[in-house]
Structure 1
């Protein structure tokens, strides 16, 4: 099958919002190439890879997003729509250069092009993310999560994923019930399950992400604990969770604020990220007005993660 590959060059602060936009208008999958992730990993003293200065200097500063659309799409109409959506996002975030072009690729090219950017990563001292095609020797009590992003987006190296992982490691207790909103590749659902959660409900609006999440759960042996499906929070059964995690964007986090108490136990925790620093106060205000208590506030790079405690479940 032939796909339209749409290329966008954007910034670290905007790529989550741009990715969300692309999936919302029908992208069958999105690949992200963030040179900052590569440089950060290769620069670590214990990095598993080596790159010379020439390679590092060849990397661009911009984040490149490659989105894939069915060949049935009218490419002219599609690019016009994307440029219109980027203009809207630019009212709130610096989107950088924006749309830079299109090309056609087949399934095989798409499914392998991003692998060179994805290497084993220590999210925390205990949590390690390992691509399915890489070897890794487990140390002591490490929890190794094997991931194959496939045609879904993200590699697990983004600051928001790292912060959510650290917070889940801190707060998930054996027997907990967890909801993962906007599960993507399923990385946070798998982490929650491996940390001892009894049951995890993973939901995403992108059917490709849900498919990949299910595959990753099976690879990690937690498919008996994690139920993944396509949908939004309104599609969930009204069953109370101990923890809800949502690594999405500020607008959505604010929009769903009034719905969270219906799915969270009293004293339950809402762990959320995908929030740029400039929007953090809006998120704090939206939740504290509803009676949530800010339990923990973390910053990493340009991003914020917040843990809210639900003081009054509905």
Structure 2
């Protein structure tokens, strides 16, 4: 499938823009930063799809026709959290480093593992996941967190995303890492069955609020929630909603304006 890639100079607030993308249910975008700190927005339009109105006032730098095979981002291997290496080069071997290595072909819009919300989610997965836990990753994107969970010893990992392209990218990364992770399309928990020891979700606050209304169905009294993608000014919303649904925040981590919360039953 071919896409039109449109690149914009990004000068407005990144958080507000991402909020707008999710509110408009437009997921085919990526935000990148060069070595000088300049930020760029990349938008991908399918054939016949038009540019969303809220983007029409941005300065266009470039347009081109592209395909999914062009979306791999050139990155060097990096440690997403202690003991876990993300390897976009796909050349590292675990036995050479004595650490978990995740081979990753980053896809458009769905993250490379460099974003603070992904790093903090990985940190808490490593801290709380016990061998043979059952893990549900809601809004999996590239599948990074699901793959990490499996390599940390989870007995069952289900990864879901509402976007078909995300599901495709996640399946490719699962195959690259030769792990047994079930990836499928689901609008939050609409197609999810079973009960899980850990539910991790790196989305946005507004989506997490909806997830919290459904999550009791797929968790038990000792389950752990790892909720990420929350900007600091919206943290109170998540905590209040979680408390109403029977959850209490037991730990938090913050990088820049982004917050990740760990929750357990009251």
Tell me if both proteins adopt one fold, taking TM over 0.5 as the criterion: yes
How far is the alpha carbon of 1:99 from its aligned partner? 2.7
Residue 121 of structure 1 and its aligned partner are, at CA, apart by: 1.2
Q: RCO (CA 8 Å, sep 6+): is it higher in 1 or 2?
A: 1
Counterpart Cα distance in 2 of 1:237 and 1:282: 25
Distance 1:115 1:290, change over 3 A: closer
Confirm or deny that 1:4 pairs with 2:8: no
How far is 1:112 from its partner? Answer: 3.3
Post-superposition offset of 1:232: 1.5
Instruction: Report the structure, 1 or 2, having the larger helix content.
Output: 1
Q: What is the number of residues matched between the two proteins?
A: 263
Determine helix, strand or coil for the equivalent of 2:119.
helix
Q: For structure 2, which runs of at least 5 residues remain unmatched after alignment?
A: none
Residue matched to 1:67: 43
Residues 216 and 205 (structure 1 numbering): CA distance in 2 closer, same or farther, change over 3 Å?
same
- Listed as ranges, the gaps of 5+ residues in structure 1 are 36-55, 84-97
Q: 1:105 aligns with which of 64, 68, 71?
A: 64
Matching residue within 200, 213, 222 for 1:258:
213
**After the TM superposition, which residues 40-55 of structure 1 pair with which residues of structure 2 at under 5 Å, given as runs?**
none
**Measured at CA, do residues 284 and 143 of structure 1 come closer, stay the same or move farther in structure 2, by a change above 3 Å?**
same
- Give the Cα separation in 2 of the matches to 1:281 and 1:3: 39
TM normalised by structure 2 equals 0.89
Matched, 1:80 2:88: no
Runs of 4 or more above 4 Å deviation: 137-140
Measured in 2, the distance between the counterparts of 1:247 and 1:141 equals 27
- Tell whether the 8 Å contact from 2:162 to 2:187 is kept in structure 1 after alignment: yes
2:189 touches 2:211 (CA, 8 Å); kept in 1?
no
**Cα distance change of structure 1 residues 81 and 31 upon mapping to structure 2, 3 Å threshold:** closer
Instruction: Report which stretch shifted further, 285-294 or 190-199.
Output: 285-294
Structure of greater Rg: 1
Closer, same or farther in 2 for the Cα pair 1:259/1:33, shift >3 Å?
Answer: same
- Alpha-carbon offset, residue 268 of structure 1: 0.3
Q: Secondary structure at the match of 1:267?
A: strand
- 1:299 CA drift (Å): 0.8
Match of 1:141 in 2: 98
Shift of residue 140, structure 1, vs aligned partner: 4.7
Distance 2:119 2:14 in 1: 15
Q: Deviations over 1:262-293 (max 9, x none)?
A: 11111101101100000001111111122212
Deviations 1:122-170 (A, max 9, x none): 1122011000x35336455311111012345311100000000000000
